[in-house]
Amino acid sequence: MIIKNQKELEILREGGKRLAAVLQEVAHHAIAGVSARELDDLAEKLILKAGGAPSFKGYKVRGAPMPYPGSLCVSINDEVVHGLPTDRVLKAGDVVGLDIGMQWEGLFTDTALTLVTQTEFRSTSDLNSVWGRSNKLIEATKKSLEIGIAQVRAGARVGDIGYAIQQFLEKEGFGVVRELVGHGVGSAVHEDPEIPNFGKKGVGAELVEGMVIALEPMATDGSPKVKIAPDGWIWVTSDGSRAAHFEHTVVVTKNRAEVLTKW
């Protein structure tokens, strides 16, 4: 059901809070020298400790050769989303997207963030270096999620969200990914409606009080085009540019969004 009742919303609030704490803890461990697999193992351990179940593990998407093998997606540099938790080790300066989903008392929340792996001090005046561009990309993508969230209220249209996100990211000089979109969430990993990160004001499905949706802008520091890597899971930019991704699960209320996954 697309509209959640008060009891379901209470469960989603608690699940979202616990999931956000897990992602925050995992992000603190995303430093140079750590492998994607180690982060995935930590994510799974923390989800179970929180009393939840990893919702990505075993998830199937059309066209992928196998169910998703991990509890966390770790997407590095030109990888946009669905990065597999391999033995690849994070290096200083890598752009690392961490996306996580949890089932808590039968209901699902989903959240993601992107960071630059740190080790050494870098000057903030070095803004045109790869490091500086990566930070700008990440800051802009994070801001675009906030801008999208600010559009959410009962009676608004899905297109209002996409329009606001797209306008901002393109003005900042970044590419907006079209092949992947936000979505309804709560009763399953993915539900209707789709929430694109591009669009036109006043167009698309109407947001209704009690809907639970995941907003998740994905931006590139180059062409917006993406493709699936040969492993059948990882989405990468077609021109090799770096990408960032942020995501929150929110409830549509009368006048605003209630963010369930605040980290």
Query: What residues numbered 240-259 form the site for ligand MF3, per CB under 6 A?
Result: 247
Strand partners, 50: none
Nearest residue to 39 via CA among 52, 57, 23, 56: 23
105 annotated as a binding-site residue: no
CA angle 225, 173, 178 (to 5 degrees): 30
56 binds, among Co ion, ligand MF3, none (CB under 5 to 8 A by kind): ligand MF3
Contact between 237 and 220 (Cβ < 8 Å): yes
Among 82, 157, 242, 248, binds ligand MF3 (CB under 6 A): 82
The option from ligand MF3, Co ion, none interacting with 79 (CB < 5 to 8 A, set by class) reads none
Task: Tell me how far, at minimum, the Cβ of 66 lies from ligand MF3, in Å.
Answer: 10
Q: Which residues, listed in sequence order, are joined to residue 244 by a DSSP beta bridge? A: 219
Q: Are 71 and 120 in contact (CB under 8 A)?
A: no
248 labeled part of a ligand binding site:
no
d(CA 176, CA 172): 11
Binding mask 103-142 for ligand MF3 (x = CB under 6 A): -------x--------------------------------
Is position 99 an interface residue for ligand MF3 (rule: CB under 6 A)? Answer: yes
Is 179 annotated in a binding site? The answer is no
Rounded to a whole number of angstroms, the minimum distance from the CB of residue 247 to Co ion is 5
Q: Sign of the C-alpha dihedral, residues 253, 255, 257, 260? A: negative
Q: Looking at 99, 160, 191, 221, which residue binds Co ion (CB under 5 A)?
A: 99
Asked if 82 and 106 count as a contact pair (C-beta separation under 8 A), the reply is no
Over the window 205 to 234, marking each residue x when it contacts Co ion by CB under 5 A and - when it does not, the resulting string is ---------x-x------------------
- Cα distance between residue 256 and residue 36, in whole Å: 36
Hey, what are 239's tokens? 């021109």
E strand or H helix at 81:
strand 79-81
Residue the block writes with tokens 């903030």: 124
Q: Given the complex with ligand MF3, which of 83 and 159 has the nearer CB atom?
A: 83
Residues of the shown chain interacting with Co ion in the complex, contacts defined by CB under 5 A: 99, 110, 112, 214, 216, 247
Residues of the shown chain interacting with ligand MF3 in the complex, contacts defined by CB under 6 A: 56, 59, 68, 73, 82, 99, 101, 110, 214, 216, 247
Q: Which residues are annotated as a binding site?
A: 82, 99, 110, 183, 190, 216, 247
